[in-house]
Amino acid sequence: MQILSWEFVTSLLTIVFIDLLLAGDNAIVIGLAARNLQKNVQKKAIWLGTGGAIVIRIVATLLVVYLLKIPFLLAVGGVVLMWIAYKLLVQEEHREEVQAGSSLWAAVRTIVIADAAMGLDNVIAVAGAAHGETLLVIIGLLISIPIVVWGSTLFVSLLNRFPWIVYIGSAVLAYTAAKMVTHEPKLDSLFHDNPVLTYTFIAVMIVVIVVGGLWTNSVKAHKAKAQQTAQAASTDADKPASGAKSRESR
């Protein structure tokens, strides 16, 4: 893949978008971990924690890029990324579990550990989008440093304001995941000489994941509404009984 070629540029833009999409929670984790520190120490904790997290992520991603060269692991990574794309649409929040550090190094440790635990999806997605290009991985992840530090919280607010952006992001992840499967060397005989099957497979995977996320969210919303209705009915039913008891006591 030549530098500044169309394929290189589009892959790099995909990696940056994936970083921006999946780093939002990580930026919030950084803020939560450093929230109890004094202002002059907070910036140092954020930079040190983010720097450590980025180094670990670069090493992990390069390792995954190497591992994806093992037969069938590229296809397995694609399937895993499809699950991540689906979970992105139906994820539940667990940010309250992040403990704020009481000192600079406690906050840095929390940031690095939390990022390592949360960064698996990012590592797999970036490794898949890079198509084995180490330079792409490094450039993309270096670009993610200012994204995590400055841009992610803004992006999170945009996601809250325009939820449909998540579906675009999920479709991009699904596209990357499907391409990982179709680029699996062991499946060359199936996809390489059959572009119609390749593009059909990619399109179907995108539709299945996005529609699956929409359907799951719809079911969740319906169940939540039914629970609220049941709770409201239960509260209304208790009111006359309590009123009768108060009259009896008189």
Q: What is the per-residue pLDDT across 52-70, written as a single tens digit (0 to 9) for each? A: 777 777 788 778 877 777 8
Residues 174-203, buried b or exposed e (16+ Cβ, 10 A)? bbbbbbbbbbbeeeeeebeeeeeebeebbe
Q: What is the pLDDT of residue 90?
A: 80
Q: What is the pLDDT of residue 200?
A: 95
Which range of 100-104, 129-133, 173-177 scores highest in mean pLDDT? It is 173-177
Is 24:159 a contact under the CB 8 Å cutoff?
A: yes
Reported as a pLDDT band with limits 50, 70 and 90, residue 234 is confident
Which range of 29-33, 40-44, 65-69, 239-243 scores highest in mean pLDDT? It is 65-69
DSSP three-state, residue 34: coil
Flag whether pLDDT at 213 surpasses 80: yes
Is 111:55 a contact under the CB 8 Å cutoff?
A: no
Provide the residue count of the chain. 250
Question: CA dihedral in degrees (31, 34, 37, 41; nearest 10)?
Answer: -100
Segments making up each domain of the chain, as ranges = 6-241
Q: What is the pLDDT of residue 246?
A: 53
**Amino acid symbol at 207:** V
Render pLDDT for 170-198 as a digit per residue (tens, 0 to 9). Answer: 888 888 888 888 888 888 888 878 889 99
Q: What is the pLDDT of residue 201?
A: 95
Which of 68 and 227 is assigned the larger pLDDT?
227
Q: What is the pLDDT of residue 95?
A: 46
Reported as a pLDDT band with limits 50, 70 and 90, residue 96 is very low
User: How many C-beta neighbours within 10 Å does residue 70 have?
Assistant: 9
DSSP three-state, residue 201: helix
Residue % of the chain over a pLDDT of 90: 7
Reported as a pLDDT band with limits 50, 70 and 90, residue 144 is low
Total-model pTM: 0.66
Angle at 29 between CA 101 and CA 130, to 5 degrees: 130
Is 128:68 a contact under the CB 8 Å cutoff?
A: yes
DSSP three-state, residue 193: coil
Please, what is the angle between helix 39-67 and helix 104-118, to 10°? 30
Which of 135 and 154 is assigned the larger pLDDT?
135
Query: How many Å apart are CA 195 and CA 201, to the nearest integer?
Result: 10
